[in-house]
């Protein structure tokens, strides 16, 4: 099994990513670290608890992390995720415990105590917690096996401004630290997540699952879809964040390129842009494996098959 820490701002798609990880015996979730992003920190923490409880996994360790980006004001996305961040169905308030340690301290302590190269980080929200840990404890960088994240874009460019993807836009300084860290990075940008769209058949497959989790996932997906369908007239909505977990389970579902990626932190106009050298037009060395393709049918089949286990 592979040890992972999920760093997240749930969010319906984050919730599905967490469920996929908890349902998968190949992965050992050492902890879930929460960050401000889609909604403010108290809600992302609550939502992480709610998801673990839904999965019947009250023993999972959940940590609250940074409540704001490193140097900018927090930007949230209630327009996409609803007021709670998990709109679509009302579930009971969670009662499972929250760890008292700060998420950043947990990250540092875990990376120092686990064998070097044995822990993979999976950030699916703004990179504030990860970058803060790297700034405070630079020694952990070489102990991280790999970072597999949902972030950025190249041809698809932006979903929150014309040039930036939400997770990077919220905390570009943090993203800059991570992309310069020298750690092995695998990135799921909008270009690939926009090839993993929900549709009626895929959502109904969740709803038809026995047990209570599948129908909840279907309700979240219904709500989440509405934004993209109304705004862009697209067929469904990209289920972004589970791509990062699916990659750990079956990298063969994906295809990408090793490229150089730099983060725009200066210009307000293009703040948070992932300047991705997809065509190798510079000789800057690659620092990220940027994914571009996914087998969407097999991706949704994997999601459905695993969520059925919960
Ligand atoms: C990312 O932003 C959030 O709204 C989603 O949860 C995902 O992590 C997509 O840009
Ligand atoms: Ca997210």
Measure 108 CA to ligand 2 centroid, in angstroms. 22
Write the burial class of residue 2 (CB in 10 Å: 0-12 exposed, 13-18 middle, 19+ buried): middle
Residues 20, 134, 174, 228: what is their CA dihedral angle, to the nearest 10 degrees?
Answer: 0
Measure 167 CA to ligand 2 centroid, in angstroms. 7
Flag residues of the chain having pLDDT under 70.
none
pLDDT of residue 266: 97
User: 11: cis peptide before it, omega within 30°?
Assistant: yes
β-strand pairing of 144-150 with 2-8? unpaired
pLDDT of residue 235: 84
Query: Largest Cα–Cα distance of the chain, in whole Å?
Result: 53
d(CA 280, CA 258): 9
Q: Predicted ipTM?
A: 0.99
d(CA 287, CA 273): 16
Mapping DSSP to helix (H, G, I), strand (E, B) and coil, where does residue 66 land?
A: coil
| Residue whose tokens read 């919730």 | 15
Beta-carbon-side half-sphere exposure of residue 85 (alpha carbons within 13 Å) = 27
Residue 149: Cβ within 10 Å count: 28
Instruction: Give the tokens for residue 213.
Output: 């989790």
Ligand 1 atom nearest to 165, measured from its CA: 10
pLDDT of residue 180: 98
pLDDT tens across 39-91, in order? 999 999 999 999 999 999 999 999 999 999 999 999 999 999 999 999 999 99
Distances (CA, A) of 230 to 60, 72, 176, 201: 36, 30, 33, 19
Catalytic residues: 240
Measure 171 CA to ligand 2 centroid, in angstroms. 13
d(CA 208, CA 185): 36
For ligand 1, residues with CB inside 6 Å are 11, 13-14, 38, 77, 80, 124-125, 150, 159, 165-167, 240-241
Instruction: Give the tokens for residue 182.
Output: 């020298």
pLDDT tens across 196-211, in order? 999 999 999 999 999 9
* Residue 268 CB partners (closer than 8 Å, separation 6+): none
Distances (CA, A) of 94 to 52, 55, 56, 119, 310: 9, 12, 11, 28, 18
* Residue 234 CB partners (closer than 8 Å, separation 6+): 197, 228
d(CA 55, CA 36): 23
For residue 224, which ligand has an atom nearest its CA? Answer: 1
d(CA 307, CA 126): 25
Ligand 1 atom nearest to 11, measured from its CA: 6
pLDDT of residue 36: 98
For residue 6, which ligand has an atom nearest its CA? Answer: 2
pTM above 0.80, yes or no: yes
DSSP state letters, 236-289:
S-B--THHHHHHHH-GGGEEEEEE-EEE--S-TTTTT-EEE-TT--S-PPP-EE
pLDDT of residue 117: 98
């Amino acid at each position: 099994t592979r040890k992972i820490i999920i760093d997240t701002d749930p969010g319906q798609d984050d919730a599905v990513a967490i469920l996929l990880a908890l349902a998968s015996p190949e992965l050992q979730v050492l902890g879930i670290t929460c960050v401000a992003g889609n909604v403010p920190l108290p809600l992302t923490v609550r939502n992480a608890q709610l998801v673990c409880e839904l999965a019947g996994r009250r023993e999972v360790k959940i940590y609250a992390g940074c409540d704001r980006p490193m140097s900018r004001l927090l930007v949230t996305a209630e327009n996409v995720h609803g007021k709670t961040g998990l709109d679509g169905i009302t579930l009971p308030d969670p009662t499972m415990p929250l760890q008292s340690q700060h998420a950043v301290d947990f990250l540092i302590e875990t990376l120092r105590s686990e064998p070097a190269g044995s822990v993979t980080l999976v950030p699916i929200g703004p990179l504030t917690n990860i970058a803060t840990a790297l700034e405070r404890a630079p020694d952990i960088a070489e102990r991280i096996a790999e970072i597999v994240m949902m972030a950025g874009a190249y041809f698809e460019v932006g979903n929150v401004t014309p040039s930036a993807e939400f997770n990077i836009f919220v905390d570009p300084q943090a993203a800059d630290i991570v992309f310069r860290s020298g750690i092995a990075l695998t990135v799921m940008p909008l270009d690939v997540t926009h090839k993993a769209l929900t549709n009626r058949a895929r959502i109904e497959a969740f709803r038809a699952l026995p047990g209570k989790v599948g129908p909840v996932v279907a309700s979240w997906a219904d709500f989440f879809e509405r934004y993209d369908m109304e705004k862009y007239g697209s067929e469904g909505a990209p289920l972004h964040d589970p791509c990062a977990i699916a990659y750990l389970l079956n990298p063969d579902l994906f295809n990408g390129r090793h490229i150089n990626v730099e983060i725009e932190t200066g210009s307000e106009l293009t703040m948070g842009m992932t300047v991705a050298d997809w065509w190798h037009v510079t000789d800057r060395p690659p620092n990220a494996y940027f994914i571009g393709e996914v087998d969407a049918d097999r991706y949704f089949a994997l999601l459905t098959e695993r969520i059925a286990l919960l």
